Structure 1
Amino acid sequence: MGDADGCSMHVVMLPWLAFGHILPFTELAKRIARQGHRVTLLSTPRNTRRLIRIPPALASLVRVVDVHLPRVERLPEGAEASIDLPSDALRPYLRVAYDTAFSHKLSDILREPGPERPDWVLIDYAAYWAPAAAARHGVPCAFLSLFGAAALSFFGPPEALMGRGRHAKTNLEDLTVVPDYVPFPTTVAYRAFEAREIFEPGLVPDDSGVSEGYRFAMAIQGSQLVGIRSSVGFEPEWLRVLGELYQKPVIPVGLFPPPPTQDVAGHEATLQWLNRQAPRSVVYAAFGSEAKLASAQLQTIALGLEASGLPFLWAFRPPADAGIGEGTAGLPEGFEERVDGRGLVCRGWVPQARLLAHESVGGFLTHAGWNSITEGLARGVRLVLLPLMFDQGLNSRLLVEKKIGVEVERDEDDGSFTPKDIAAALRRVMVEDEGKEFGTKVKELSEVFGNDEVNDQCVRDFFRRLLEYSKQ
């Protein structure tokens, strides 16, 4: 496989249909191509148009293949990513469309003759059917995790993710305690309100026929290697746990944050406002593309930002319960007028990596998704954590443990929070004496998360392991 010296390989990449998966897969594809390997990246036409940008210098090495989704009952017309779904209850139908279309396209690619035949298939968790398909054609498969090692370790080995064995999480309480196989003290576990939110969608089969946990399990179990978006410089203890759980090579592929080079057309005034602020004084607030916050939650966040007294820039998305045309839904009455000059509310897409890299941004109020953590720490900004779904609660506990961020206080039973809780966490990180310690820590970690040389070396090491396996 590859050329005679092992200098070049051809890999197929299958990200799940979510912005937070397509974008990092694309960033990694570019880094792979810059090292001389060929990449075939699969997505859908709409996602290709709005998300995937391949520099002309890499166009000959990165082939983007459009995959058309079939019509699926209950899946809205034109929905090609999770952000397009008006309700999380529709996720299973996007998975059905993904499974059907992408499994067929992968089979076609695996049958391609000669040099077009891939050497490896690199899969996201959702493509649980890919390892078996690749094996039928004699092509090895690697699971490429966009989740950190601590979060994956918490859920245990593949059999536990399938609901089997002594480590299976078969009831809510199992999600609120640290697993007994973790050999060091930690608080990485879900709170009661988080466990209730994640148990059914994560561990119970949905209308796609399988659970999210089953997808992870089959993707991990069927792959020859596991690549994980992490670093030995950040969570070495959890990487060791994961290797023992999976009983196969677990290889950090680096953090590969997107470069702060996005087009800022339409946001010139925002950058001018940032230019007028003091260095490291501004809080950037954003909660990712997946979470569908309700009006009451957004109003609480708004009042918390206001009460903090800090300058802020908010990448605002309308609440899930807003009607069409309700542009101010989710904001308290008169909010934007009261914070005028001190705070900006930006609607629609914002160039997040570019904004986080601005010298006036010193804090990040975030949902603790792994992508956002990576982008924030790569730019050396302090973190205030408000986890909302998926792995975010686990990520948040890890960062607090490592004294990298502060988590917003929540009601332990229902997860509610107040404006006072938001303001207190922001001021603790940005103003109080303790904030200096956080500043020092995140500056150190920016050399782990944001160092291109270190991240590219991780990619080289990963491909060296792929090549070694191919030659066995």
Structure 2
Amino acid sequence: MTSEGKALHILVIPLPAQGHLIPMLDLAHHLSLLLPSLSLTVLSTPTNLPLLHPFLSSTPSASPLLLPLSLPPAFHHVRTLPSPSDVATLIHAYSLLSPDILLWCRSNAPAAILADFFFPWTHHLAADLSVPRLVFYGVGPLLVSIFHRLWLDLPRPADPAALISFPSIPGSPSFSFSHLPSLYRRYVAGSGSPEWDFLRDEMVAGESAWAAVFNTFDALDGVYLCHLKGEMKFNRVFAVGPIHNALDRGGGTDVVAEELAVWLDGSPAKSVVYVCFGSQFTHGMAQGRALGEALEGSGARFVWCVGSDRVTGSDGKLVPEGFEERVKGRGMVVRGWAPQLEILRHRAVASFLTHCGWNSVLEGIVAGVMLLAWPMEADQFLNARVLVEEAGAAVLACAGGREIVPDPEELGKLLAESVNANAFVETRARSVEMGRKAKEAVLEGGSSFRDMEALVAELSELGLHNA
């Protein structure tokens, strides 16, 4: 699947957050392989540049456009997101780069802009340049459908437990206000401030795009992809996922990877629970204790990736005192980075206790392991609905952020059953089946393969028109 075409230059504008940036750069890398004539310029802050090196070194046709933000240093680093209440500040700050970007574009003439969906202000940029804007959605289309209605209808219930219904969306889903996307709830709390009002206005205006590119596949999200084509009137919708990771994600050491590989190799097949809640969420002390007790009491083998062991706002540590000694031999605790893809795909891993972030969802699905859903914030409650109620490839383990503490005995029982081949037989079978469909989607003739072909063909036409 390649296309020669004429020279084509695309400006890539990613959100500086690990979960958004990595799949977007993976997409850009794949496009560069399929379109030899493609050249890419990636917008970045100077501080982020070292973290772009894996992409830049493996993608000769790519180069950075470095523009500094007027923000505290913590905002500049791709692995350090601001607190959720500051997201509007970050998005607004990036929009203030528009004059500098426009000036650069006048001299370098990109034929198109590929932007993260959190940057709707780029529709003004594309209009000023009279070039197409492609929007990358590193999230599920149910979230996009929900966002569309939220920004238009602006529900503001006084009771966080109140159900918000979406009858125009397939399946008529309902969610409590507290389970709606965090960004919208922060808007409701902060509306009236210029930055949050800017965000809402831009989200509504920025929904129009020349093309929408989703990191998902038809067997998982086909009904919502069709809905978006009708409800939001997207002219072109390409579901090209799961986007294969082609770049070094970095962040860890070979020692950690080697120790894990040796330990997993020595574990029986389908005997291990993998526990990880992504790169952004931090536990409370009570949650850490409950999870530690559940893992210890389950009797199951496990890998627990805790990120930072230090509990935010506390002098305490997440991993209980003496825990590692008590579970020695059947459990491993990883602090910091863990090679998640390699862990999930190992024959020893049977289940994945996950926060249901979209990248983790797709990685777990491709691995064909049973998913234990613990949604906490952002879009995770929506993703859990797709996994548990629609795909049938997951079981709900818990629901809620730091304020929710599961019963250790009940959670421990679930963890034990997740490695028992005689428990959750149907869910386990659906997990394997969905994994097979995910892999087939990106193979020649699969739904995502065909959409990628169509996307490449459309971009080739842009190159011809730009010649």
| 1:56-106 superposed Cα distances (whole Å, 9 cap, x missing partner) | 5631x2223333222x3xx3x3432474357444444433433334x3443
Please give the secondary structure, in 2, of the residue aligned with 1:235. helix
**2:113 equivalent in structure 1:** 121
Q: CA deviation at 1:24?
A: 0.8
What does residue 112 of structure 1 align with? 107
Matches within 5 A, 1:69-468: 69-70=69-70, 72=71, 75=72, 77-81=73-77, 83-84=79-80, 87-101=83-97, 103-113=98-108, 117-157=109-149, 160-161=150-151, 164=152, 167-171=153-157, 176-184=163-171, 188-191=173-176, 193-195=178-180, 199-203=184-188, 204-205=190-191, 208-210=195-197, 213-221=200-208, 223-249=209-235, 250-258=237-245, 265-267=254-256, 268-318=258-308, 321-322=311-312, 329-401=317-389, 402-410=391-399, 415-431=404-420, 433-450=422-439, 452-453=442-443, 454=446, 455-466=448-459
Q: Cα offset for 1:293? A: 2.3
Instruction: Tell me how far 1:27 sits from its aligned partner.
Output: 0.9
Deviation at 1:111, TM superposition (A): 1.0
Provide Cα deviations, 1:406-454, integer angstroms capped at 9, x if missing partner. Answer: 1114589x64422234223323433163433233222222233345434
> What residue identity is the alignment partner of 1:258?
N
| Alignment check: 8 A CA contact 2:91 2:199 kept | no
SS class of match (2:54): coil
Evaluate the alpha carbon distance shift between residue 57 and residue 145 of structure 1 in structure 2; reply closer, same or farther with a 3 A threshold.
closer
Output the amino acid matched with 2:285. Answer: S
User: How many angstroms apart in 2 are the aligned matches of 1:194 and 1:105?
Assistant: 38
Q: Distance in 2 between matches of 1:183 and 1:85?
A: 33
Counterpart-to-counterpart distance in 2, 1:257 and 1:298: 32
- CA distance in structure 2 between the partners assigned to 1:83 and 1:55 by the alignment: 18
Between the aligned partners of 1:292 and 1:213, the Cα distance in structure 2 is 27
Contact 1:198 1:389 in 2 (8 A): no
> What residue identity is the alignment partner of 2:186?
P
Q: What is the SS of the residue equivalent to 2:385?
A: helix
Conservation of the 8 A alpha-carbon contact between 1:19 and 1:81: no
CA distance in 1, matches of 2:407, 2:244: 32
What pairs with 1:61-72 in structure 2 (closer than 5 Å)?
61-70=61-70, 72=71
What is the RMSD of the two structures over their aligned residues, measured on CA atoms? Answer: 3.2
Helix, strand or coil for the counterpart of 1:297?
A: helix
For 1:333-352, what per-residue CA distance to the aligned partner results, in whole angstroms no more than 9, with x for missing partners? 22111111111111112222
Measure how far apart 1:214 and its partner are. Answer: 4.4
* Number of residue-to-residue matches in the alignment: 449
Alignment partners' CA distance in 2, 1:17 and 1:261: 17
| AA matched with 1:62 | A
Gaps in structure 2 of 5+ consecutive residues = none
Give the AA of the match of 1:176: L
CA distance in 2 between counterparts of 1:320 and 1:197 reads: 24
Letter in 1 for 2:8: M
Q: Is the 8 A contact 2:269 2:349 kept in 1?
A: yes
Alpha-carbon distance in 2 for matches of 1:323, 1:245: 44
Amino acid at match of 1:359: R
- Larger RCO, structure (CA 8 Å, separation 6 or more): 2
Distance of 2:81 and 2:234 partners within structure 1: 36
1:159-183 CA distance string (max 9 Å, x none): x41xx4xx44333679733311134
Partner-residue secondary structure (3-state), 1:41: strand
Contact 1:295 1:319 in 2 (8 A): no
- Distance in 1, Cα, partners of 2:154 & 2:424: 39
- CA 1:352 to 1:202, structure 2 compared with 1: closer, same or farther past 3 Å? farther
TM-score (norm 1): 0.84
Cα distance change on mapping 1:339 and 1:53 into 2, 3 Å: same
Q: Which residue of 1 aligns with 2:28?
A: 29
Q: TM-score, normalised by structure 2?
A: 0.85
- Structure 1 residues 251 and 209, CA gap change in structure 2 (3 angstroms): same
How much has 1:269 moved relative to structure 2?
A: 1.3
Alpha-carbon contact 2:8-2:462 (below 8 Å) kept: no
**Cα distance change of structure 1 residues 319 and 270 upon mapping to structure 2, 3 Å threshold:** closer
Mapped contact 1:16–1:124 kept (Cα < 8 A) = yes
Q: Structure 1 residue 136: deviation in Å?
A: 0.9
Q: Does the 8 Å CA contact 1:143/1:219 hold for their aligned counterparts?
A: no
C-alpha displacement of 1:32: 0.8
Q: In structure 1, what is the Cα distance between the partners aligned to 2:243 and 2:158?
A: 34
Q: Tell me if the contact between 1:92 and 1:207 (Cα under 8 Å) persists in the aligned partners.
A: no
In the alignment, the residues of structure 2 paired with residue 211 and residue 296 of structure 1 have an alpha-carbon distance, to the nearest angstrom, of: 37
Give the Cα separation in 1 of the matches to 2:246 and 2:341. Answer: 7
